[in-house]
């Protein structure tokens, strides 16, 4: 019966790890008999998979929860998943009493049990609401009416239900599930390592995602082979620090696992993100050199160009050690595209420190950066340092940094003019009549093709580059005839 059907809506905030966690959460819910719906209005259960990496991300979640207070009144259940859930824990129930489920990512393994609890509580909490005086029986049965005689909607007077999954941060187990609802039919993600033990002084991740734990390389490879059988051609290995991977069975190092995934029949591209400089070994560059299926792109966040600030950030490397890793990549046989994350305005960052970050951009020649203003986060050691740099100054440094990087990218992209590169076709921009492609270096390369040529999304085609912008390239399908 439609009124009893279990439906859910899920919205995801934050990083690629969260997006992939959501694919697994969706798969788990579907395996439990739920149907995903595209709008909050159609859903019985509304879930937010949240991010708390910076204050802005966290505020977004609380605004969304406040917006949806009325949903509880309409009988819907609300759940908060992910980093805000873990960080704020039961305090969420105080700030948002209409929330029924609070679950951190380290507890996703237990979601099926939590869903059953939620359903049982919904049934127990439900009580018959008498037909309002003057309403006809027909209208009373209309499930679109808020007050309808409908068990799913009749919980408005019930006790608040509170289910939590917050205690698993010390677990050694990963969230492995056969039920992953992948959203892209060509590129698939595999989390190989969860959590983080690095404790950078500004970062909430070790507190929200728990301790570092890896899957066995055999299980990762089995998933990669399964995905290849399903037709996936690109695999992205994920982890907060993907290269800190340690096979619990001791069979393969990270570089060996990369190579093994790259050898899976049918897989044409392997990517991995995010790499931590401290654990970035030469063997990774050698693996890229030896296996053309490993993409020539490494995301290696530096955070600052000043060794003094890197020390205060507890990043476990200094500028010279970081640059040593860059030099390994620059001596690779293929040109490896390098991207990074940078924080400006960390407590105590002087103009001189900031200048060193600017000079590092030049020295490395990044193909892209994600840059952020420092945001003080709960529980983190840097909270004890005075956040003395005014927001306006952080904004100025951010703007200067981004402008410099824009110029660097423009110059670097121009060097690719005239090259013919293979792209994976991701889609089409109908209004511009351009296909959207991605190069192995992870650059967007939009291209045109003769009208009579069939181009398929998910296929790999050669494209000659004719125009370079700072954030993308433009070209023409290479027709060799």
Strand partners, 398: none
CA 173 → CA 108, 176, 192, 193, 420, distances in Å? Answer: 10, 8, 12, 10, 45
- Looking at the Cβ atoms of 276 and 438, the one nearer to ligand SAM is 276
- Looking at the Cβ atoms of 381 and 462, the one nearer to ligand SAM is 381
Stretch that binds ligand SAM, among 116-124, 287-295, 374-382, 456-464 (CB under 6 A): 374-382
- Looking at the Cβ atoms of 189 and 435, the one nearer to ligand SAM is 189
Alpha helices, H only, 197-304: 205-208, 217-229, 254-262, 282-290
Residue 13 touches which of ligand SAM, ligand SF4, none (Cβ within 5-8 Å per kind) = none
Contact call for residue 213 and ligand SAM (CB under 6 A):
no
- Looking at the Cβ atoms of 104 and 475, the one nearer to ligand SAM is 104
* Nearest distance from C-beta of residue 231 to ligand SAM, angstroms: 30
346: left (phi over 0), alpha (psi -120 to 50) or beta: beta
* Nearest distance from C-beta of residue 318 to ligand SF4, angstroms: 15
Contact call for residue 301 and ligand SAM (CB under 6 A):
yes
| Helix (H) or strand (E) segment spanning residue 105 | none
409: left (phi over 0), alpha (psi -120 to 50) or beta: alpha
CA 284 → CA 172, 272, 308, 329, 475, distances in Å? Answer: 26, 11, 28, 9, 31
State the Cα angle at 32 between 30 and 35, rounded to 5°: 35
- Residue 146: how many other CB atoms lie within 10 Å: 12
167 to 206: interface string for ligand SAM, x by CB under 6 A: -----------------------------------xx-x-
* Nearest distance from C-beta of residue 373 to ligand SAM, angstroms: 7
CB 190 within 8 A of CB 220: yes
Residue 343 touches which of ligand SF4, ligand SAM, none (Cβ within 5-8 Å per kind) = ligand SAM
- φ, ψ (nearest 5 deg) of residue 73: -60, -30
- Looking at the Cβ atoms of 61 and 343, the one nearer to ligand SAM is 343
What's the CA gap between 214 and 387, in Å, rounded? 35
What's the CA gap between 286 and 156, in Å, rounded? 61
**Tokens matching residue 239:** 């982890």
Strand partners, 438: 424, 444
- Looking at the Cβ atoms of 57 and 474, the one nearer to ligand SAM is 57
Contact call for residue 370 and ligand SF4 (CB under 6 A):
no
Q: Which of 87, 243, 303, 446 binds ligand SAM (CB under 6 A)?
A: 303
Count residues near ligand SAM (CB under 6 A).
18
* Nearest distance from C-beta of residue 59 to ligand SAM, angstroms: 14
Q: Which of 8, 317, 372, 447 binds ligand SAM (CB under 6 A)?
A: 372
Contact call for residue 53 and ligand SAM (CB under 6 A):
yes
Residue of 398, 446, 396 whose CA lies nearest to 425: 446
427 to 446: interface string for ligand SF4, x by CB under 6 A: --------------------
Residue 199 touches which of ligand SF4, ligand SAM, none (Cβ within 5-8 Å per kind) = ligand SF4
193 to 222: interface string for ligand SF4, x by CB under 6 A: ---x-xxx--x-xx----------------
How far the first Cα of the chain sits from its last, in Å, is 59
Contact call for residue 104 and ligand SF4 (CB under 6 A):
no
* Nearest distance from C-beta of residue 317 to ligand SF4, angstroms: 11
- Looking at the Cβ atoms of 371 and 457, the one nearer to ligand SF4 is 371
Could you tell me how far CA 322 lies from the centroid of its own chain? 24
Contact call for residue 304 and ligand SF4 (CB under 6 A):
no
Q: Which of 150, 240, 357, 375 binds ligand SF4 (CB under 6 A)?
A: 240
CA 301 → CA 92, 175, 334, 343, distances in Å? Answer: 32, 25, 21, 10
**Tokens matching residue 398:** 């951010």
Strand partners, 425: 437
Contact call for residue 242 and ligand SF4 (CB under 6 A):
no
Sites of contact with ligand SAM (CB under 6 A): 15, 53-54, 202-203, 205, 240-241, 274, 276, 301, 303, 341, 343, 372, 374-375, 377
Query: In the complex, which residues of this chain contact ligand SF4 (CB under 6 A)?
Result: 196, 198-200, 203, 205-206, 240-241, 276
């Amino acid at each position: 019966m439609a009124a009893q059907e279990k439906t859910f809506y899920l919205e995801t905030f934050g990083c690629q790890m969260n997006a992939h966690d959501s694919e697994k959460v969706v798969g788990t819910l579907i395996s439990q008999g739920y149907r995903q719906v595209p709008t909050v209005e159609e859903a019985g259960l509304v879930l937010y998979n949240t991010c708390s990496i910076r204050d802005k991300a966290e505020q977004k979640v609380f605004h969304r929860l406040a917006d949806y207070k009325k949903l509880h009144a309409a009988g819907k259940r609300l759940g908060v998943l992910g980093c805000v859930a873990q960080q704020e824990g039961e305090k969420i129930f105080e700030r948002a009493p209409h929330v029924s489920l609070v679950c951190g990512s380290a507890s996703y393994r237990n979601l099926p049990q939590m869903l059953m609890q939620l359903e049982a509580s919904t049934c127990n909490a439900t009580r018959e609401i008498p037909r309002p005086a003057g309403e006809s029986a027909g209208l009373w049965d209309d499930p679109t009416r808020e007050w309808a005689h409908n068990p799913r909607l009749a919980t408005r007077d019930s006790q608040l239900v509170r289910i939590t999954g917050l205690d698993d941060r010390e677990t050694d187990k990963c969230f492995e599930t056969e039920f992953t609802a992948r959203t892209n039919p060509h590129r698939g993600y595999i989390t190989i390592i969860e959590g983080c033990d690095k404790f950078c002084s500004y970062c909430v991740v070790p507190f929200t995602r728990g301790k570092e734990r890896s899957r066995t390389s055999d299980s990762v490879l089995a998933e990669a082979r399964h995905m290849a059988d399903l037709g996936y051609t690109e695999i992205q290995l994920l982890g907060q620090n993907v290269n800190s991977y340690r096979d619990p069975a001791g069979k393969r190092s990270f570089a060996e696992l990369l190579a093994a995934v790259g050898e899976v029949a049918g897989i044409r591209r392997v990517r991995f993100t995010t790499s931590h400089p401290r654990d970035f070994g030469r063997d990774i560059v050698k693996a890229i050199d030896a296996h053309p299926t490993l993409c020539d792109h490494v995301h290696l966040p530096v955070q600052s160009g000043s060794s003094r600030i890197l020390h205060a950030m507890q990043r476990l490397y200094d500028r010279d050690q970081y640059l040593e890793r860059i030099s390994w990549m620059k001596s690779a046989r293929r040109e490896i595209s390098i991207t990074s994350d940078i924080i400006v305005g960390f407590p105590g960052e002087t103009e001189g420190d900031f200048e060193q970050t600017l000079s590092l951009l030049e020295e490395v020649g990044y193909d892209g950066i994600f840059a952020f203003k420092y945001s003080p986060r709960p529980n983190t050691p840097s909270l004890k340092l005075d956040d003395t740099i005014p927001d306006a100054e952080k904004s100025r440094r951010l703007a200067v940094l981004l402008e410099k990087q824009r110029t660097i990218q423009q110059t670097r992209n121009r060097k690719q003019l005239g090259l013919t590169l293979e792209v994976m076709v991701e889609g089409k921009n109908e209004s511009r009549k351009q296909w959207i492609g991605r190069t192995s270096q992870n650059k967007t390369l939009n291209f045109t093709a003769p009208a009579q040529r069939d181009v398929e999304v998910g296929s790999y085609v050669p494209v000659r580059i004719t125009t370079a912008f700072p954030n993308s390239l433009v070209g023409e399908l290479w027709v060799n005839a």
